[in-house]
Structure formats: structure tokens, C-alpha cells
């Protein structure tokens, strides 16, 4: 993500003035931890397949989005698939996307709010997949699509700070989303999960995502996030609660 900047309104006799941005987080520690842990779990998947007598992928069998087990009460399967992957190419693509998006988004969201965004998106994606397809699925792409949506919301909400660049940046993101959804029309790709993650991430980001405002401090001008903890709470409650209601409805319908 390109950092927003503000420029002086003084006559053009001076160079544009850079205004410091007060960021909630410095190093994107949560992103690094997510990438590292996901790679570790994939290593356990490969180890399981090589050591198991029948070549079983036990992490997948215990944590994949498998509807029949979710309906038996194993609801953790609506979250755990974000740590599981089906191939080296699968995890490489998702971890590259997570690293690229996460290292910039986390600086504005802060560690814990970024983790909320990630897991709400993954939960929303797996929940919509659970509702609309019986196929088993795994992968962090549900959460990654939520990050893409959150980046788009961040740019739109703070478009005045980006100036003319905002329009082209949003159009580029829109094209990325469309292309990836079209790719998802291929067999064995869970596009419902992608759409769910996209929606969950967008709802959370719209209500609770960073909203930067130019403020005057003793050090001069500063960009600060004016979102309150109350707004973040409601963002989580609405985005996660909506999909919890969907899960409850599916359970009731199955009985």
C-alpha cells in the first residue's frame, strides 16, 4: 500500500512538505507470525503425508473445512482452514499475498486489530463456503481476499489524503479482485470462500478500519487514526455476528 501524504498549501516557492503519520504499529509482527506459523503447519502436512502409513494429511483431516464434521459440532473448522494448504504453489501464492498486503495494512491497523481483520475475513469466507458448497476446502485465500477488500476501503475512506492517485489505485484493486474471482471459476477453487472473505473484510474495514485525519499537535501537523475502540467493537460484532447467525441457521436447518 502506498502511504498517504499531505502537501503544503503555501505558494509553490517551497518543496512539498511531508507530514508525519502517527501509526499504531511499527514492525508488522502479526504478519510475520501468521506467515511463519502457516508455513510451519504446511510442513506438518507434508510430514504427515510422508510418515503416515496411508499417506494421510492429518492436519487437513482434523482442521479442513469439511461440512459433515462441522455439522457434528467441529466449528473450529470455520477458522483453521486458513492455516492449511494443498500444494507448494498454493501456499506460496497465499503467503506472498499475505506478506505484501499485511506488512502495509498492519502498520495502520495495529497488531491486534489487524489480526481481528484477518480472522474475521477467514471466518466469513469459510462460513459462506460452508453454507453454499459441500466441497472440502483449505487455504488462506479467504482471509487474503478480506485484506484486499480492507485495503480498498482504507484507500477510499482516506481518499482525500491520496489525492488524484486514489482513483487509479482503487481501479487497480478492483481489477485484481475481478481477475482473481474469474480465476476462481476454475474447478477445485472455492470462490464462495473468496467472496465471503471479501465481504467480511469489507464490512469490518468500513466500520472499524483506520480513518486518518489531519490534526495539529505541539510538534506541528500530524495524521492520526480517529477510529474509536467502540467502533472497532461494533465492526467485529457486525462482521462476525452476521456469519455466526448464518452458521446457526445452517445447524437448525440440518436438524
> Which of 121, 129, 141, 239 is an active site residue?
141
**Tens-of-pLDDT digits for all 255 residues of the chain?**
655 554 444 444 555 556 665 566 678 999 999 999 999 999 999 999 999 878 899 999 999 999 999 999 999 999 999 999 999 999 999 999 999 999 999 989 989 999 999 999 999 999 999 999 999 999 999 999 999 999 999 999 988 888 888 888 888 888 888 888 887 777 788 899 999 999 999 999 999 999 988 777 776 667 778 888 899 999 988 888 888 888 888 787 877
> Which of 85, 137, 194, 239 is an active site residue?
194
> Does 194 qualify as catalytic in the annotation?
yes
Take residue 115 and report the three cell numbers written for it: 489480526
CATH tag, 29-254: 1.20.1540.10
pLDDT at 20: 61
Helix, strand counts (H, E) of the chain: 10, 2
pLDDT at 47: 95
The burial class, CB within 10 Å (0-12 / 13-18 / 19+), for 188 is exposed
pLDDT at 192: 92
pLDDT at 6: 46
pLDDT at 138: 96
CA nearest 132: which of 249, 255, 241? 249
> Does 230 qualify as catalytic in the annotation?
no
pLDDT at 27: 87
Amino acid at each position: 500500500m502506498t502511504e498517504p501524504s499531505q502537501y503544503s498549501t503555501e505558494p509553490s516557492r517551497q518543496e512539498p512538505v511531508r507530514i508525519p503519520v502517527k501509526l499504531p504499529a511499527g514492525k508488522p509482527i502479526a504478519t510475520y507470525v501468521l506467515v511463519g506459523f502457516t508455513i510451519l503447519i504446511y510442513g506438518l502436512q507434508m510430514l504427515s503425508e510422508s510418515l503416515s502409513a496411508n499417506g494421510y494429511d492429518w492436519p487437513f483431516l482434523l482442521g479442513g473445512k469439511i461440512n459433515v464434521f462441522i455439522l457434528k459440532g467441529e466449528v473450529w473448522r470455520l477458522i483453521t482452514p486458513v492455516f492449511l494448504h494443498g500444494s507448494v504453489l498454493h501456499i506460496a501464492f497465499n503467503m506472498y499475498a499475505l506478506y505484501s498486503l499485511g506488512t502495509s495494512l498492519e502498520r495502520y491497523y495495529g497488531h491486534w486489530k489487524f489480526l481481528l481483520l484477518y480472522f474475521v475475513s477467514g471466518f466469513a469466507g469459510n462460513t459462506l463456503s460452508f453454507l453454499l458448497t459441500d466441497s472440502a476446502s483449505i487455504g488462506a485465500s479467504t482471509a487474503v481476499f478480506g485484506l484486499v477488500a480492507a485495503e480498498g476501503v482504507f484507500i477510499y475512506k482516506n481518499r482525500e489524503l491520496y489525492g488524484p492517485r486514489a482513483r487509479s489505485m482503487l481501479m487497480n484493486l478492483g481489477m485484481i479482485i475481478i481477475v482473481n474471482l474469474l480465476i476462481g471459476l476454475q474447478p477445485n477453487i472455492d470462490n464462495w470462500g473468496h467472496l465471503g472473505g471479501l465481504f467480511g473484510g469489507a464490512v469490518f474495514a468500513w466500520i472499524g478500519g483506520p480513518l486518518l485525519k489531519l490534526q495539529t499537535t505541539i510538534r506541528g501537523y500530524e495524521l492520526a487514526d480517529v477510529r474509536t475502540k467502540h467502533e472497532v467493537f461494533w465492526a467485529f460484532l457486525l462482521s462476525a455476528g452476521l456469519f455466526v447467525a448464518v452458521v446457526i441457521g445452517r445447524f437448525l436447518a440440518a436438524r
